[in-house]
Structure 1
Amino acid sequence: MLSKEICIHGDILEAKEKTTVVTTSLEVIKEKVFDDLGRAFYDTARAFATGPKLRKDGRAPYLHILYWLGTSNEWALDLIEAVRKFPKHRSSVNTIMEKGYLEGFLNGERSELFAECIHYEPNTHVISVEDPKFVYYIRNIQWKKFVLQVGYKSFNFKSSYDYALSFAGCDRDVAEALFNKLEEEEVSVFYDKNEQHRILAENVEEYLGPIYRSEAQFVVVLLGPDYPKRVWTRFESEQFRDRFGDASVIPVWFDTAPTGLFDDTTKIGGFHFYRSGDFESQINEIVSTLVKKIAEERS
């Protein structure tokens, strides 16, 4: 009987005329192969999973893309289709695609590390694995262990957004500053201006309602003087009204709002924002606390 067998130790290199019995189990062989590949590819996988900077309390969009590649039956992944399949990560993954962060990262300072393993086509949003050995490696990663090794605290997320912002137009400067800072920390935030292209041609109430009712883990309400006067803020507040009882609404009280206007919200913890105070330091303090809050929820 002719057989061609591959031995991990290199004892069998070509076809033999006699059958050779290999007593080493397949699992041991696979583990040895994985360990050998780990020495070649762990640094690449870890560098991609962390993205430009490790945000241990963030949404980990780069890590999830690597996970989707590793659990896919294909060598290429359409990220547009992937976020449809995994809607909880739509916001964070769309952000790094649409703002060019993913392309810039792969072509940046560490491009040589990724060049022979991963290719991304920004025009089609398709990311592919180029090296068959790297494919084998990421398909056999023990993901729970890998997540901790990389430095993330969690790999499971309860909601599509960590925070949804509800505010009147006159307070958009505060909302946008919060959104930008939280986005830098890879915290997923629903901010209407960032989603305008998705809202187009949709029934706006049907689109926004579920976000404020349940798809955001927390709602941050900017309670400025115009908040009760606007149609859309009234609509949004109707959606999350019942959430005050389950500790998922966070008020931000503006000193410019009339005294007593929001007294019914003062029984829960929130923030004070002073228009006459230092804008940047107040934004940073709120963001820092919100990041700690979501990190505690995940852990």
Structure 2
Amino acid sequence: MSRLSRIDSLPAPAFTRPTADQAPAPDADPLARAVPRGTDPALASLIATMARGPAVNFGARAPVLRLLQSGAASSSPYTFIEDSCRDWPGDAVAIRTAWNRGSLASFFAEISEPGVIDFDQRLGLLHVASEPLRAALSRMDWAETERHLPYLNLSQDLPYDVALSYASEERAYVESLFTVLAQLGYAVFYDFNEQDRLLGAQVDNFLEAIFTRESRFVVVVLSNDFGRRRPHVFEAEIIQEKVPQERILPIYYRNRPCGPFDSLYHQGHLWLDSDGDLTPQVIQHAELISKKVAADVSAGPLGRR
């Protein structure tokens, strides 16, 4: 029996958008205050839906909002993903991840009719085909929009919420953990999600920057092989020597022999039963990590560390 069931349907995030029959009327929707006066009510409702984006957990990023803001600032009806990444460097990881996972294309296909606004997955291209929609987006009060989205992390304070460090033997577990955390709306460093950026890079410097300066937390999956084999030695040394312990979230194997990270037993950690079904463990771990990220985002830069 496989240790990992398919994650075809993930748990509903803690924060969810109201259904159509629960949604407030456009004039009662706080986001409507940011929409230009005189905008068609149906169009105003569409803009509010897009601004909120998919349902996510507290402290998540807002790649759809960032893409809309980039498009609104352009004179062209077309906006490429990389244009938005340059406009919003602190959210570039979240924007690229949403593109890579196909969530941007599926979101726009779900909420809009053809010929209004759509996203080309192959090209990474947003097309605002409707002239009235383009005009409304160009006149949006984006500061007011952001003010009514307090559950999102719009600070661009760090590129990554979580960085994943692990031994290659645990790729199945880690890839599933990445998938759930990304669906909950967080910016996550997972090496296989960033092969294009790793290609040709000085890998040691690349990883050191992510682990030490660019991530809110570093999740270390402490399997029997982590820190013992050559490919993982550098990561283990960097995390032990340069990452503050309060930013390390350890996940220990049950029945794991003594290893170089035994000192972390004295701080809070999670357990991974490598012989059991990994799917419920992935979901539980992702929800706990989500709460940790949300608390740190809520604390703000002055209350953090």
For normalisation by structure 1, the TM-score amounts to 0.77
The verdict on how the C-alpha distance between 1:154 and 1:96 changes in structure 2, with shifts beyond 3 A counting, is: closer
Consecutive unaligned residues of structure 1, counting only runs of 5 or more, are 1-30
Q: CA RMSD in A?
A: 2.7
The verdict on how the C-alpha distance between 1:39 and 1:126 changes in structure 2, with shifts beyond 3 A counting, is: same
CA-to-aligned-CA distance 1:244-292 (integer Å, 9 cap, x gap): 4362111111113214653211232221222345422222221111111
2:188 counterpart residue number: 189
Q: Aligned AA for 2:112?
A: S
**1:158/1:217 contact within 8 Å kept:** no
**1:154/1:298 contact within 8 Å kept:** yes
**2:35/2:140 contact within 8 Å kept:** no
**2:78/2:126 contact within 8 Å kept:** yes
Report the alpha carbon displacement of residue 219 of structure 1 after superposing the two structures with TM: 0.5
Percent identity between the aligned chains? Answer: 26
The verdict on how the C-alpha distance between 1:209 and 1:33 changes in structure 2, with shifts beyond 3 A counting, is: closer
CA-to-aligned-CA distance 1:73-97 (integer Å, 9 cap, x gap): 5443221232244333232222232
1:272 counterpart residue number: 271
Query: Which of the numbers 83, 95, 101 marks the counterpart of 2:97?
Result: 95
The verdict on how the C-alpha distance between 1:268 and 1:73 changes in structure 2, with shifts beyond 3 A counting, is: farther
The verdict on how the C-alpha distance between 1:268 and 1:151 changes in structure 2, with shifts beyond 3 A counting, is: same
Instruction: Determine helix, strand or coil for the equivalent of 1:37.
Output: coil
Report the alpha carbon displacement of residue 232 of structure 1 after superposing the two structures with TM: 2.7
Structure 2: distance between partners of 1:32 and 1:266: 49
CA-to-aligned-CA distance 1:151-204 (integer Å, 9 cap, x gap): 733321321111111111222222122111111112111111222233223222
The verdict on how the C-alpha distance between 1:239 and 1:87 changes in structure 2, with shifts beyond 3 A counting, is: farther
The verdict on how the C-alpha distance between 1:38 and 1:268 changes in structure 2, with shifts beyond 3 A counting, is: farther
Instruction: Determine helix, strand or coil for the equivalent of 1:35.
Output: coil
The list of structure 1 runs, each at least 4 consecutive aligned residues, that deviate by more than 4 angstroms after superposition, is none
2:59 counterpart residue number: 57
Structure 1: distance between partners of 2:56 and 2:189: 22
**2:35/2:44 contact within 8 Å kept:** no
Structure 2: distance between partners of 1:173 and 1:199: 20
Q: Aligned AA for 1:180?
A: T
1:1-299 alignment runs, 5 A limit: 34-37=36-39, 39-108=41-110, 110-112=111-113, 115-149=114-148, 152-245=151-244, 247-259=246-258, 262-299=261-298
Greater Cα offset, 66-75 or 171-180: 66-75
The verdict on how the C-alpha distance between 1:32 and 1:244 changes in structure 2, with shifts beyond 3 A counting, is: closer
Aligned length: 266
Q: Aligned AA for 2:105?
A: E
Q: Aligned AA for 2:108?
A: L
**1:54/1:151 contact within 8 Å kept:** no
CA-to-aligned-CA distance 1:41-73 (integer Å, 9 cap, x gap): 321112223334354432121111112222345
Higher relative contact order at CA 8 Å, sep ≥6: structure 1 or structure 2? Answer: 2
Consecutive unaligned residues of structure 2, counting only runs of 5 or more, are 1-32, 299-305
Q: Higher Cα Rg: structure 1 or 2?
A: 1
Structure 2: distance between partners of 1:47 and 1:255: 44
The verdict on how the C-alpha distance between 1:73 and 1:246 changes in structure 2, with shifts beyond 3 A counting, is: farther
Structure 2: distance between partners of 1:32 and 1:170: 49
Q: Aligned AA for 1:215?
A: E
